[in-house]
């Protein structure tokens, strides 16, 4: 499988604070990769480095191209969609208006129209609620809206930052089923940041565990799941 995203020795921080101390990881084309770790480990910062949301050094390549000094908009145009922590939807706008923001960089109107239908097939509830203010949606529905909006960018890679946060277990389960289906049907690669290690390891094929800005463990998800010591030390179950 060819590599879609590759980070090598990525260092990043905020002012004087270093958050990443040389992170190397990769995501293959069409892969689901989990990025795990405790609060403050640097998971969000890793995603921000990819999208140009934080200053970083080292190397990041997407589909063979260096992302060094690229603006966030250029990164999006290359095919990377980021669903940030807290979802990033605009609660004062309607569901429809939020979705339109997802397609704002696209000029292929017919393609966009078709993609709306496709996205509504994944998330029928959004079709029903398209005229409603996004603020009126439940937490799970808001996460679906954020995902739907990201899909309208027609990405090759989805960066998901803790999609399960604050959602009830059943809602998390159905959300992750949809992520799996999208990955299989559309061939979109996913880099999934999660604190919920158990479910992330079920969904992903490969996983990295960050510990204070460094990759402490990595390997096939099935293997990590079985390793008692890894589970105890890093995954908390």
Ligand X SMILES: Nc1ncnc2c1ncn2[C@@H]1O[C@H](COP(=O)(O)OP(=O)(O)O)[C@@H](O)[C@H]1O
In this complex, which beta carbon is closest to ligand X, that of residue 40 or of residue 135? Answer: 40
Taking residues 12 to 51 in sequence order and writing x for each that binds Mg ion by CB under 5 A, - otherwise, the string is -------------------------------xx-------
CB-CB contact of 60 with 7 (8 Å): yes
Rule CB under 6 A: which residues touch ligand X? 14, 17, 19, 37, 39-45
42 binds, among Mg ion, ligand X, none (CB under 5 to 8 A by kind): ligand X
Residue 165 CA to residue 167 CA, distance in Å, equals 6
In this complex, which beta carbon is closest to Mg ion, that of residue 28 or of residue 53? Answer: 53
CA 97, 194, 227: angle at the middle one, nearest 5?
155
Length of the chain (residues): 237
Residue 101 CA to residue 104 CA, distance in Å, equals 5
Smallest separation (angstroms) from ligand X to the CB of 24? 16
Smallest separation (angstroms) from Mg ion to the CB of 20? 12
In this complex, which beta carbon is closest to ligand X, that of residue 39 or of residue 110? Answer: 39
Q: Nearest residue by C-beta to Mg ion?
A: 44
Smallest separation (angstroms) from ligand X to the CB of 38? 7
In this complex, which beta carbon is closest to Mg ion, that of residue 86 or of residue 220? Answer: 86
Smallest separation (angstroms) from ligand X to the CB of 163? 13
In this complex, which beta carbon is closest to ligand X, that of residue 19 or of residue 224? Answer: 19
């Amino acid at each position: 499988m060819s590599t879609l995203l590759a980070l090598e020795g990525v260092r990043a921080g905020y002012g004087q604070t270093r958050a990443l101390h040389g992170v190397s990881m990769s995501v293959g084309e069409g892969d689901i990769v989990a990025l795990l770790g405790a609060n403050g480990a640097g998971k969000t910062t890793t995603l921000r480095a990819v999208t140009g949301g934080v200053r970083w050094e080292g190397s990041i390549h997407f589909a063979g191209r260096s992302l060094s000094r690229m603006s966030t908009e250029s990164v999006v145009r290359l095919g990377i969609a980021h669903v940030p922590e807290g979802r990033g939807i605009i609660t004062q706008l309607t569901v429809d208006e939020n979705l339109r923001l997802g397609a704002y960089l696209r000029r292929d109107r017919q393609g966009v129209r078709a993609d709306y239908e496709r996205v509504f097939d994944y998330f029928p509830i959004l079709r029903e609620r398209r005229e409603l203010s996004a603020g009126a949606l439940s937490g799970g529905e808001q996460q679906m809206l954020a995902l739907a909006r990201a899909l309208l960018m027609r990405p090759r890679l989805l960066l998901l930052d803790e999609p399960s946060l604050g959602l009830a277990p059943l809602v998390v389960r159905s959300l992750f089923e949809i992520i799996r289906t999208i990955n299989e049907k559309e061939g979109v690669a996913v880099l999934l940041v999660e604190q919920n290690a158990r479910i992330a390891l079920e969904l992903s094929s490969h996983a990295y565990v960050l510990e204070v800005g460094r990759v402490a463990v990595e390997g096939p998800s099935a293997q990590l799941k079985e390793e008692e010591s890894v589970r105890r030390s890093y995954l908390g179950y």
